């Protein structure tokens, strides 16, 4: 299951005709186990970062309830929808394709821009947190140098191949979770169940609580952006999504149950980011504390790699659809999108100067905007395209599909309503910039100042009607009749998933 298979497939690049004359390259494809590990790191990477939910929630009760209830009403609906749509549109670009099929290229571009900005903000956290776990004594310049060096090193691993990222994610997952398994067993004799129901209303901070819970349970859709790199994605994605849901819930619930049940409730206010290392010290001693600190540091590497892969392959998918210049579709000899990776890494370095709480709130708001579009697209595609080939389909009718989306939409709106004025201003500016950027790119395409992908790649695993929409709806190149005829001819060879 965890093997990485190699398949022959049509190359990606700025021109399909040129690529067609070259020998077909082969590159490793992700299978179920590496994809589970990547989704795990897209979402959590271990219980690191959940400690603040205990403090902000006024004690263990709301934190434990949150990580039991919210996965049912938030994580599971998002995971189910991701499984259905990723299986139906198994191409790089993921949710950008879903939005384009439902609402057209303008909103698809906005979705891609918001999600890329949110993902880059999220990824800016991990090199900083890695250094925080290692040392706090570096000067500003030394720390900046280490930050750039670490980002460059992790980016290079991403450049060397997605299969390497997937395999390293498996190893990092095992290493990150092992100390918490040991801690849970050692905590059993000390657990007092009555500590789990402690709640101090005076210490409750709703904004911090919901932001912490939301951040630790989002990004289930991220791996869909690299669906084109997955072996048999229509079957592999649903299996990996559900496997990751179980893994994520257990990786949060077990350490929280062990830590809050074994320690005195008077220390609730001390539960902040990084507190699990102190929990390990009190339960197991110095060796367990050091093991948890090492696991936390390594987990941040896995989080960075998974996020970087998703962000860069999203840009590649958008370039293949003609939404971004062709340069972002160019691959290295390892099959990775070189310039997309470089752009994402540059964004990480620039944004890493922001504070932890600022990043969390900004990225949550942008992510919430994108998720509202995704839920709307899911419902519209169920209504607009009832006959769309869905290798995996949530076993509900249209009304059931709407009902599934209601709880997560309520949570999204709640998180957005709790945002500060500063967050509203910053995200408002980001949205305006996204609108302007869309029309600027359209002008560049119309004037032919920058090279864009102007002929469709051979698509064998995407619904024909949706692909026609991606290529032609609102496109500035459809005035070219020879190109139109070439496009129509190419589309005749498109087939659905068998």
* Token pair for 178: 């092992």
Q: What is the value of pTM for the model shown?
A: 0.80
Q: How far apart are CA 318 and CA 326, in angstroms?
A: 9
Q: What is the pLDDT of residue 484?
A: 37
- pLDDT number for residue 376: 95
Task: Set out the domains of the chain in order of their start, with CATH numbers.
Answer: 31-447 (1.20.1740.10), 454-498 (no CATH)
CA gap 272, 212 in Å, rounded: 11
pLDDT along the chain (498 residues), means of 10: 40 38 58 91 86 88 90 89 91 92 94 91 77 61 75 85 86 92 94 89 85 84 87 86 92 92 77 85 92 87 88 92 91 89 86 70 87 95 91 91 93 86 90 94 89 57 44 40 36 32
pLDDT score at 373: 95
């Amino acid at each position: 299951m965890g093997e990485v298979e190699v398949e022959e497939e049509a190359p990606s690049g700025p021109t399909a005709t040129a690529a067609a004359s070259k020998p077909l390259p082969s590159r490793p494809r992700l299978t179920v186990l590496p994809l589970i590990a990547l989704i795990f790191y897209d979402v959590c990477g271990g219980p690191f970062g959940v400690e603040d939910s205990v403090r902000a929630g006024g004690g263990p009760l709301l934190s434990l309830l949150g990580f039991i209830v919210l996965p049912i009403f938030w994580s599971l609906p998002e995971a189910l929808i991701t499984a259905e749509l990723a299986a139906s549109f198994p191409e790089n670009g993921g949710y950008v394709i879903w939005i384009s099929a439902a609402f057209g290229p303008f909103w698809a571009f906005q979705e891609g821009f918001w999600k890329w900005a949110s993902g880059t903000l999220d990824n800016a956290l991990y090199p900083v947190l890695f250094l925080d776990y290692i040392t706090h004594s570096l000067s500003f310049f030394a720390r900046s140098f280490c930050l750039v060096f670490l980002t460059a090193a992790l980016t290079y691993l991403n450049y060397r191949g997605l299969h390497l990222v997937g395999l390293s994610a498996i190893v990092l997952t095992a290493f990150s979770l092992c100390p918490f398994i040991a801690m849970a067993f050692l905590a059993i004799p000390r657990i007092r169940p009555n500590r789990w129901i402690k709640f101090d209303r005076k210490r409750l901070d709703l904004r911090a609580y919901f932001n912490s819970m939301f951040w630790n349970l989002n990004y289930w859709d991220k791996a869909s952006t690299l669906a084109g790199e997955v072996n048999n994605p229509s079957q592999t994605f649903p299996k990996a999504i559900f496997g990751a849901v179980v893994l994520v819930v257990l990786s949060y619930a077990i350490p929280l149950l062990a830590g809050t049940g074994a320690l005195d409730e008077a220390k609730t206010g001390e539960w902040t980011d990084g507190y699990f290392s102190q929990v390990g010290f009190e339960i197991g001693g110095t060796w367990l504390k050091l093991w948890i600190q090492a696991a936390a540091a390594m987990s941040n590497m896995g989080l960075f790699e998974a996020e970087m892969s998703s962000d860069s392959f999203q840009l590649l998918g958008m370039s293949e659809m003609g939404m971004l210049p062709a340069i972002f579709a160019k691959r290295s000899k390892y099959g990775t999108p070189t310039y997309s990776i470089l752009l994402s890494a540059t964004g990480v370095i620039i944004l890493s100067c922001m504070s932890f709480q600022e990043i969390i709130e900004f990225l949550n708001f942008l992510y919430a905007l994108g998720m509202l579009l995704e839920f709307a697209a899911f419902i519209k595609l169920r209504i607009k395209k009832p006959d769309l080939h869905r290798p995996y389909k949530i076993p509900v009718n249209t009304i059931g599909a709407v009902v599934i989306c209601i709880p997560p939409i309520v949570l999204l709106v709640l998180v957005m309503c709790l945002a500060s004025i500063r967050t509203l201003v910053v995200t408002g500016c980001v949205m305006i910039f996204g609108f302007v950027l869309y029309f600027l790119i359209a002008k560049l395409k119309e004037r032919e100042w920058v090279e864009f992908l102007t002929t469709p790649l051979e698509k064998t695993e995407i619904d024909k009607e949706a692909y026609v929409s991606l290529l032609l709806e609102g496109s500035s190149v459809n005035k070219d009749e020879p190109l139109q005829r070439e496009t129509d001819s190419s589309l005749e060879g498109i087939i659905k998933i068998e």
